[in-house]
Amino acid sequence: MKSLDRHAQDKLKDLQRRHLRRTLTESLREDGLWIERDGKRLLSFSCNDYLNLTQHPAIKQAAIDAIEKYGVGSGASRLVTGNHPLYAQLEVRLARIKQTEAAVVFGSGYLANAGIIPVVIGRKGLVLVDELSHACLFAGAELSRGKVLAFRHNDVAEARKLLARHRSSHDHALIVTDGVFSMDGDLAPLADLLAVADEHDAWLMSDDAHGLGVVGDGRGSSFVGNTHIPLPLQMGTLSKAVGSYGGYLCASGPVVDLIRNRARTLIYSTGLPPACVAAAIAALDLIEREQDYAATPLRKAKMFTRRVGLAEAQSPIVPVIIGDEEATLAASRMLVEEGYFAAAIRPPSVPAGTARLRLTFTAKHSDQTIERLADIVRDKIMKH
Ligand SMILES: *Cc1c(COP(=O)(O)O)cnc(C)c1O
């Protein structure tokens, strides 16, 4: 056997032994709610399609129209000839929703984080990252080649302590955090983090991948509770509640202009397919227009947590933490027998010992279904 193949097989065996081996399962999504996997039709509680917009007829039509008009691909980087006319419309909407001067759209949320952080922070800089932040915030922070420090989850006092100790030996400092935590569903203390950042001449960026469209009247986590926290850097994705694909940054005019000039993942990557941009525009129009619809997934999640007796949901994401990897896989299999799909999330996506079912609620889940799922989780999973 070739040494590379042997290397791969050894690594895979090790993953298997630790119950961490992953496989791709073909998942046929019909309507934003049901999926077909391994020949079984299951009701999904594992899609980030919170508003079921991936299958919305008007949004699909907007994408089809864009293909007819502009073609399938964008043909080049946005900086060359890939900047088709739909981009400007999308960026105007994003800036309006987030109440910033400007916005810039990237190929994905991951590409946005990998591009933004190294522009803002260089070798002599400091990046503080909430320990439960998404992997691509850590990836972007590492790409900056500055000093990267993690602070305990939502621990504002520790972030302050780290800034007090390290800020003076760095030219610039940036705090980054998920706005809505992707595996826990809780919210970051953005107002307090902003105050700490201001105290130490540091900047704050939130990753609102799971906030836009579903919390704060659909505007995201910096708008929760009838306040507006004026974050200097707000990034997110167009692939979750918005139902399409792409990433974005909302910020001031000068910051967005600098990003357009310097972000390598924007400059050296092809522009999005026009259909993705058109779909995102149509979805944001709907989110701005139908705030009650945007509030529905969180309402459903709260209905679930109340019935199970878990801490009240702060977003449409609800973790049912089991701890052990094998037991989590068994719980996920048991739910499949009941007709539900809830993915088992294991390390390294979550810290060791906190394997969980990560449930996501969408606008179209019926109340009866949620009640039945809650009863199963309470009686057959939590009691064991
Ligand atoms: C999904 C996700 C991303 C990545 O966004 P993509 O557009 O899917 O690349 C970034 N941050 C968080 C918190 C996410 O959940």
Distant-in-sequence, close-in-space partners of 279: CB < 8 Å, separation ≥ 6: 59, 60, 62, 63, 66, 242, 243, 244
Protein residue with its CA nearest to atom 8 in ligand 1: 109
Instruction: Give the Cα separation of 146 and 160 in Å (integer).
Output: 18
Decide: 276 in ligand 1 pocket, CB within 6 A. Answer: no
Nearest 5°: CA angle at 177, between 146 and 283?
A: 120
CA of 331 to the centre of ligand 1 (A): 26
Every domain range in the chain assigned CATH 3.40.640.10: 57-289
Instruction: Give the Cα separation of 362 and 301 in Å (integer).
Output: 8
Q: What is the pLDDT of residue 238?
A: 98
Instruction: Give the Cα separation of 190 and 201 in Å (integer).
Output: 16
**Which fold does the domain 24-50+316-381 belong to in CATH?**
Aspartate Aminotransferase, domain 1 (3.90.1150)
Q: What is the DSSP string of 41-70?
A: EEEES--S-TT-GGG-HHHHHHHHHHHHHH
CATH class of 57-289: alpha beta
Of ligand 1's listed atoms, the one at least distance from the Cα of 134 is 13
Q: What is the pLDDT of residue 20?
A: 80
Protein residue with its CA nearest to atom 5 in ligand 1: 109
Q: What is the pLDDT of residue 307?
A: 98
Residue 222 has pLDDT above 90, yes or no: yes
DSSP type of residue 191: H
Q: Which of 304, 308, 312 is nearest to 360 (CA)?
A: 304
Decide: 134 in ligand 1 pocket, CB within 6 A. Answer: yes
Decide: 316 in ligand 1 pocket, CB within 6 A. Answer: no
Please report, for the chain, how many H helices and E strands are present, in that order. Answer: 13, 14
Instruction: Give the Cα separation of 166 and 330 in Å (integer).
Output: 45
Decide: 184 in ligand 1 pocket, CB within 6 A. Answer: no
Dump pLDDT digits (tens) for 345-369.
Answer: 998 889 999 999 999 999 999 999 9
Decide: 220 in ligand 1 pocket, CB within 6 A. Answer: no
Protein residue with its CA nearest to atom 7 in ligand 1: 109
Confidence of residue 17 (pLDDT cuts 50, 70, 90): very high
Using a pLDDT cut of 90, give the percent of the chain over it: 95
Instruction: Give the Cα separation of 110 and 209 in Å (integer).
Output: 10
Rounded average pLDDT over 167-173: 98
Could you tell which of 48, 132, 237 is best to mutate to test the pocket of ligand 1, judged by most ligand atoms within 8 Å of the CB? Answer: 237
Decide: 49 in ligand 1 pocket, CB within 6 A. Answer: no
Of ligand 1's listed atoms, the one at least distance from the Cα of 108 is 7
Q: Which of 228, 263, 261 is nearest to 247 (CA)?
A: 263
CB 273 within 8 A of CB 82: no
Decide: 136 in ligand 1 pocket, CB within 6 A. Answer: yes
Q: What is the pLDDT of residue 384?
A: 63
CB 247 within 8 A of CB 276: no
Side chain identity at 320, as an amino acid letter? Answer: V
CB 129 within 8 A of CB 149: yes
Dump pLDDT digits (tens) for 54-113.
Answer: 999 999 999 999 999 999 999 999 999 999 999 999 999 999 999 999 999 999 999 999
Decide: 179 in ligand 1 pocket, CB within 6 A. Answer: no
CA of 209 to the centre of ligand 1 (A): 6
Every domain range in the chain assigned CATH 3.90.1150.10: 24-50+316-381
Q: Kindly calculate the radius of gyration of the chain based on its CA atoms and give it in whole angstroms.
A: 21
Instruction: Give the Cα separation of 272 and 287 in Å (integer).
Output: 21
What is residue 374's three-state secondary structure? helix
Could you tell which of 136, 238, 345 is best to mutate to test the pocket of ligand 1, judged by most ligand atoms within 8 Å of the CB? Answer: 136
Instruction: Give the Cα separation of 365 and 360 in Å (integer).
Output: 10
Dump pLDDT digits (tens) for 230-273.
Answer: 999 999 999 999 999 999 999 999 999 999 999 999 999 999 99
Decide: 237 in ligand 1 pocket, CB within 6 A. Answer: yes
Side chain identity at 354, as an amino acid letter? Answer: T
Q: Please write down the long-range contacts of 374-383, taking CB distance under 8 Å and 24 or more positions apart.
A: 374/303, 374/304, 374/307, 374/308, 375/307, 376/335, 376/338, 376/340, 377/308, 377/320, 378/307, 378/308, 378/309, 380/334, 381/320, 381/322, 381/331, 381/334, 381/357, 382/308, 382/309, 382/320
What stretch of H or E contains 375?
A: helix 367-376
Phi-psi region of 33 (alpha: psi -120 to 50; beta: other; left: phi over 0): alpha
Q: What is the side-by-side strand order in the sheet with 40-44?
A: 27-29, 34-37, 40-44, 340-341
Of ligand 1's listed atoms, the one at least distance from the Cα of 181 is 13
CA of 178 to the centre of ligand 1 (A): 10
Could you tell which of 239, 269, 360 is best to mutate to test the pocket of ligand 1, judged by most ligand atoms within 8 Å of the CB? Answer: 239
